[in-house]
Amino acid sequence: MSTMVAGAAFAADLLSGPRPAEWKELREAAEARLAGRELPTMHEEDWKYLDLKPLAALRFGPAPKVAADISGRLLPEMVGTRQVFVNGRHASHASCTSAVPAGVRFFPLSAASEACHALGSVGAGDPRNLFEDLNAARFEDGAVILVPKNMKAALPLHLLFITSAEAPVAVFPRLLVVLERGSELELVEEHHGEGAYLTAPVIEIRVAEGAVLRHERVQRDSMEAFHLGTLRAEVAKGGQYHSRTLSFGARLSRQQPWLRLAEGVEASLDGLALLDGTQVADTHSFIHHAEPHSQSHQLHKCIVDGRARAIFNGQIRVAPRAQGTDAKQQSRNLLLSETARVDTKPQLEIYADDVKCSHGAAVGQLDPEELFYMQSRGLNADDARNLLTYGFAADVIAHVPVASLRRALRQLVMARTQASTLGDLS
Amino acid sequence: MSTTLNVVTSQEYKYGFVTDIEADSVAPGLNEDVIRFISAKKGEPEWLLEFRLKAFRHWLTMTEPEWAKVDYPRPDFQKIVYYSAPKAKVAKYASMDEVDPELLRTFEKLGVPINEQASLAGVAVDVVFDSVSVTTTYKEKLAAVGIIFCSFSEAVKEHPELVRKYLGSVVPAADNFYAALNSAVFTDGSFVFIPKGVACPMDLSTYFRINNKESGQFERTLIVAEEGASVSYLEGCTAPQFDTNQLHAAVVELVALDNASIKYSTVQNWYAGDKNGVGGIFNFVTKRGLCKGKGSRISWTQVETGSAITWKYPSCVLLGDDSIGEFYSVALTNHKQQADTGTKMVHIGKNTKSTIISKGISAGDSSNSYRGLVKVQPKAEGARNFSQCDSMLIGQTCSASTFPYIEVQNRSARVEHEATTSKIGEEQLFYFQQRGIPAEEAISMIINGFCKDVFRELPMEFAVEATKLLSLKLEGSVG
């Protein structure tokens, strides 16, 4: 009971501050849903393995206006195509859009109202979670990306969400991406931060017919942070959506991607979580094959060390009319310590008969034969283990299209898997 | 989908008849007095009444589970008759001739090999008719090696110390809603005890049959295999055709001590309701085996084809080091049937192993779900699990779901889960037909191939029955 009371107080606390004036309807609807809402407990099937008590134990205030140093965060390919948000607000001094391809609109929500009527409409009608509603009720700013018909954006766009807090604060980043028919875009979304905070981003994506979005997501929040993110994507006929979510930071994180695939869509939803200490990372995905002949591929990998916990709950639903669906889902987990823990639940719900669906889950440690092989080639036991651990992670990041990001991620993974002692493997 | 893929169902339920035997029943409803009545009627000791009452009091505080992917009208527990016994003309039967001929005819129609057939088939049958066990064969032969195989009520009278020691030790009275209900009101069932070092010389078998309209069946089965003992137990079910839903909430407990082995096979073919989903049995069963000793082994094999609603998860608790748990299942649903079935493998001891092979076939408007849990506890060094869950869909209005829960808390564990979905396609059928094999036979062959990994775990006579049953059940769905 105490958690539930704390939970109710939790939402009320966050809602007690001033409400931004824009998007009144969206906010009011969210507030109405939030009224009396409690923080979910582990008794709810959807939150079975994730204990939110540590979150309930903290009180989060509104985020102060601060300037953040982004010098180490820039990527050479995207120096002129970046928008930076600090503590949920647009940081114009840190942003630079000089190289954004002509025709592509990439601006803060606060700067324009065009297209923003679409805010909150992706995946409407689907039950919303508390954190998504909290975001809708209280977000201050966010980014909007519009790519016009048949425009193939030559450069990737870079979004940096930075949170910096001395006392616990809550921030609600928001992102709306709309790709019109036949357009193409690469997008890199990064989350960084310092101190204890709650970030509950909501990302809405609309991919029109035949459009292609490649979406790289890097979560490097502070080790004291809570990251509870929602992503909703609707992909129209013949469109493609490919995302890769790489989670390194946050003491407690949860990613909730929700995808609706129309006819002939190709989608991939890959993930890698590198966890240590007492980190908890939860991925709760839902892929809805709503119409015929769509494909989805999901590869989710977790490397869990220390007392960390990885949770995966991936649901694939194939609607009755979605004949010809091809869905593959893999949850693969590597346990590195005595006290690490993995809970995984891949789920298939199939209502059509002419489909190809499979899922798999594996939890284990490194293969002793592979370790032996490495040692027979002259590596010592530690190096062999580190190299294999790095290799386990590397195939998720191998295809990151932005070279500098790929390099940075490789270095990060090498450092975290202690494989860096083996020299540059990239 | 052509006409070939649209025909095979509509086989009338072969075992839908009602035997007219005057029942000795209690009025519908459930309260402590009913429980006291059942207990008194069966001449139970005080501790067992206490067990029942404790379970009942706990049950009152519980709510029906909602998490399964099944949708059905909640039973009204006050409308159920909790005790009914067929009236016997003679209290104890000296020979088969004295058994109510009406009853014998029923079994004959069911094809239970109770007379000469029993000896021919080499099967000892403990027949549960409604709630009271009527006759037991082969008792002497089993007694010679120290095996106890009798009705649960008899075991309570003859071997109270064994029953008291093991009852509720695997499925505690308050385990879940339906197990608690069963613990409060169970009327009869089977009891098997295999003493140390004895390998049971024959397969033991029980047939359950629900007869009295609106009488829920609450069987209780307890099987104990002592150190080094082994037994294979067969359970098969059929029930008459009724329009009112009948609740079946059985509890089966298995205990295997050091190096003991228990193999439990089920063919379940209760009335599934008609094509429109009217009637049919609600099958809410708690089955759990405890591999208590080192090197013990418990194997569940089930072929589930009946019942309107199935809610069943035969599980293994792998407590002893090096113990092994196995689950082989074929679940077939057709028309409006809904099944949510699977298993739980809880690895506690070191080097414990488990295997899960589940094959789900859905046809008609049915819903077929696999739900399983593989849990590796922190001390289960070297635990190993392999799970394979395959679904087959026949037609465009059924559904198949897979919900595996995998919880691993030991890094030396290796847990693997795989699931696939397939269908019987026009192309496959065309290929068979082109080779001169008619569609009906082709379907049977495809289904058999699909279920092969499970069928080969069944005792021979069950395997034959299961194959026939599946073909029968699918008649009209494909074709």
Mean pLDDT of B90-115: 55
**A299 inside domain:** no
> What tens digit of pLDDT does each residue of A208-267 get?
999 999 999 999 999 999 999 999 999 999 999 999 999 999 999 999 999 999 999 999
Question: Whole-angstrom Cα distance, residue B185 to residue B335?
Answer: 32
Q: Do B423 and A355 touch (CB under 8 A)?
A: yes
B332: nearest Cα among B352, B294, B360, B371: B360
B478 band by pLDDT with thresholds 50, 70 and 90? low
Q: Are B308 and B243 in contact (CB under 8 A)?
A: no
Final residue of a structural domain among A228, A262, A296: A262
Same domain membership, residue A137 and residue A21: yes
**A234 inside domain:** yes
- B111: pLDDT strictly greater than 70: no
> What tens digit of pLDDT does each residue of A374-384 get?
999 999 999 99
Can you give the three-state secondary structure of B146-194, one letter per residue? CCEEEEHHHHHHHCHHHHHHHCCCCCCCCCCHHHHHHHHHCCEEEEEEE
B411 or B294, which is more confident: B294
Instruction: Return the residue in B66, B362, B407 with the most chain A beta carbons within 10 A, the one to mutate for interface testing.
Output: B407
**A337 inside domain:** no
How many C-beta neighbours within 10 Å does residue B339 have? 30
SS3 label, residue B447: helix
CB contacts, 8 Å: A350 with chain B: 391, 393, 399-401, 421
Mean pLDDT of B9-15: 51
B91 band by pLDDT with thresholds 50, 70 and 90? very low
Final residue of a structural domain among A207, A231, A262: A262
Q: Do A365 and B414 touch (CB under 8 A)?
A: yes
Q: Is B66 on the interface with A (CB under 8 A)?
A: no
Give me the residue label for tokens 């193999």. B263
- In this structure, of B96-105, B184-193, B247-256, B462-471, the range with the lowest mean pLDDT score is B96-105
Question: Whole-angstrom Cα distance, residue B75 to residue B96?
Answer: 37
SS3 label, residue B310: strand
How many C-beta neighbours within 10 Å does residue B437 have? 15
> What tens digit of pLDDT does each residue of A43-79 get?
888 899 999 999 988 888 888 888 888 888 889 899 9
CB contacts, 8 Å: B378 with chain A: 338-339
- B4: pLDDT strictly greater than 50: no
Residues whose CB is less than 8 angstroms from the CB of residue A179 and which lie 6 or more positions away in sequence, other chains included: A147, A185, A205, A206, A207, A208, A211, A212, A213, A239
Mean pLDDT of A273-283: 96
Mean pLDDT of B336-353: 96
Predicted confidence at residue B138, as pLDDT, reads: 67
Give me the residue label for tokens 């922190």. B378
B340: nearest Cα among B377, B321, B366, B301: B366
Rounded to whole angstroms, what are the CA distances from A14 to A173, B50, B294, B456? 15, 52, 54, 60
> What tens digit of pLDDT does each residue of A79-126 get?
999 999 999 999 999 999 999 999 999 999 888 665 567 788 888 767
- B90: pLDDT strictly greater than 50: no
Checking DSSP bridges between strand A157-164 and strand A82-86, what pairing results, if any? parallel
Beta bridge partners of A327: A296, A357
Q: Are A196 and A223 in contact (CB under 8 A)?
A: no
Predicted confidence at residue A297, as pLDDT, reads: 97
* Residue type (1 letter), A316: I
DSSP symbols for A142-209: -EEEEE-TT-B-SS-EEEEEEEE-SS-EEE--EEEEEE-TT-EEEEEEEEEEESSEEE--EEEEEE-T
Predicted confidence at residue A232, as pLDDT, reads: 96
**Helix extents (H) in A378-418:** 381-397, 403-416
Q: Are B84 and B131 in contact (CB under 8 A)?
A: yes
Report the chain B residue with the minimal C-alpha distance to residue A322. Answer: B396
- B144: pLDDT strictly greater than 50: yes
- B450: pLDDT strictly greater than 70: yes
- B102: pLDDT strictly greater than 70: no
DSSP symbols for A51-101: --HHHHTS--EEPPP-----GGG--GGGTTSEEEEETTEE-TTT-B-TTSP
Percent of chain A with pLDDT over 70: 95
Beta bridge partners of B406: A344, B374
Expressed as residue numbers, the domain containing A379 is 366-426
Percent of chain B with pLDDT over 90: 49
**A303 inside domain:** no
Q: Is B419 on the interface with A (CB under 8 A)?
A: yes
B211 band by pLDDT with thresholds 50, 70 and 90? very low
> What tens digit of pLDDT does each residue of B51-71 get?
999 999 999 999 988 888 888
**What does the mean pLDDT of chain B come to?**
82
Q: Do B416 and A360 touch (CB under 8 A)?
A: yes
* Residue type (1 letter), B293: G
Final residue of a structural domain among A240, A262, A284: A262
ipTM confidence: 0.84
Q: Are B201 and B236 in contact (CB under 8 A)?
A: no
Same domain membership, residue A247 and residue A381: no
Q: Is B446 on the interface with A (CB under 8 A)?
A: no
**A239 inside domain:** yes
Beta bridge partners of B245: none
**A66 inside domain:** yes
Side-chain half-sphere exposure of B164, counting CA atoms within 13 A: 12
Predicted confidence at residue B119, as pLDDT, reads: 38
> What tens digit of pLDDT does each residue of B417-428 get?
999 888 887 788
Mean pLDDT of B456-465: 79
Residues whose CB is less than 8 angstroms from the CB of residue A276 and which lie 6 or more positions away in sequence, other chains included: A305, A306, A308, A416
**A252 inside domain:** yes
Predicted confidence at residue B422, as pLDDT, reads: 83
How many independent structural domains does chain A possess?
Answer: 2
Question: Whole-angstrom Cα distance, residue B389 to residue B417?
Answer: 8
Predicted confidence at residue B140, as pLDDT, reads: 73
Q: Do A335 and B402 touch (CB under 8 A)?
A: no
> What tens digit of pLDDT does each residue of A318-351 get?
999 999 999 999 999 999 998 999 999 999 999 9
The gap from C-alpha B250 to its chain's centroid, in whole angstroms, comes to 8
Predicted confidence at residue B326, as pLDDT, reads: 97
**A131 inside domain:** yes
- In this structure, of B118-122, B164-168, B176-180, the range with the lowest mean pLDDT score is B118-122
